[in-house]
Chains A and B, each alone.
Chain A
Amino acid sequence: SQQGEEDPQALSIQEGENATMNCSYKTSINNLQWYRQNSGRGLVHLILIRSNEREKHSGRLRVTLDTSKKSSSLLITASRAADTASYFCATVLSGGGYNKLIFGAGTRLAVHP
């Protein structure tokens, strides 16, 4: 089963509105990362939040992390049509020479002009 689960699966909003996506995970983590993927293209790293951080900002992005609830949220403020993409959270499972970045199924965001 997937480590990260995003919610909602799809989100449709108007330009200028805020978009909030949530992610839940199952095991303890060192950090949680958010990625963006335009249709059929590569993944772009957006932001990384460490397990000892509660909130992080990058431009119009705001990420929160609640390790007690094993959840994170990504907020995109003042959305633009160009923000239309799929957004994935990912966590790293590592240790003993083993490493894996585990992705959730993603949230498809559509921002309408």
Chain B
Amino acid sequence: EAQVTQNPRYLITVTGKKLTVTCSQNMNHEYMSWYRQDPGLGLRQIYYSMNVEVTDKGDVPEGYKVSRKEKRNFPLILESPSPNQTSLYFCASSLVMAGTWDYTFGSGTRLTVV
């Protein structure tokens, strides 16, 4: 089944403790992206990657890192999480086709930083 898999689904952590949220897709998509969703603010893009070793900042990249060493994986790294990073996170992938950009989203990771 074609899908984007995020892990973990839920995570509670303490301020300053490094964590990684994994994202993997099995559709051979070039494009992958991370979003966070907050009440009243909608979904905002954190980082995106157009292909292996090609990453760039989205709208809210502060406090986050990403890497794209392999096409299928796009982990989101919080080196020193803070309470304002408590949010619902989504990973997405898409083929890079002119005029299409049909995204597939993961099921989400609900992160709480205390």
Contacts and interface: CB of A to CB of B under 8 A. Distances in A.
A33 B108 contact: no
B64 to A, nearest CB: 15
A30 B99 contact: yes
DSSP class of A's interface residues: helix, strand, loop or mixed?
A: strand
Contacts of B98: 30
Interface of B: 31, 33, 40, 42-43, 45, 48, 50, 54, 56, 58-59, 88, 90, 92, 98-108, 110
26 contacts: A30-B99, A31-B99, A33-B102, A33-B103, A35-B105, A40-B108, A41-B107, A43-B43, A43-B90, A43-B92, A43-B103, A44-B105, A45-B102, A45-B105, A48-B100, A88-B43, A97-B54, A98-B56, A99-B33, A99-B50, A99-B101, A100-B45, A101-B101, A102-B45, A104-B42, A105-B42
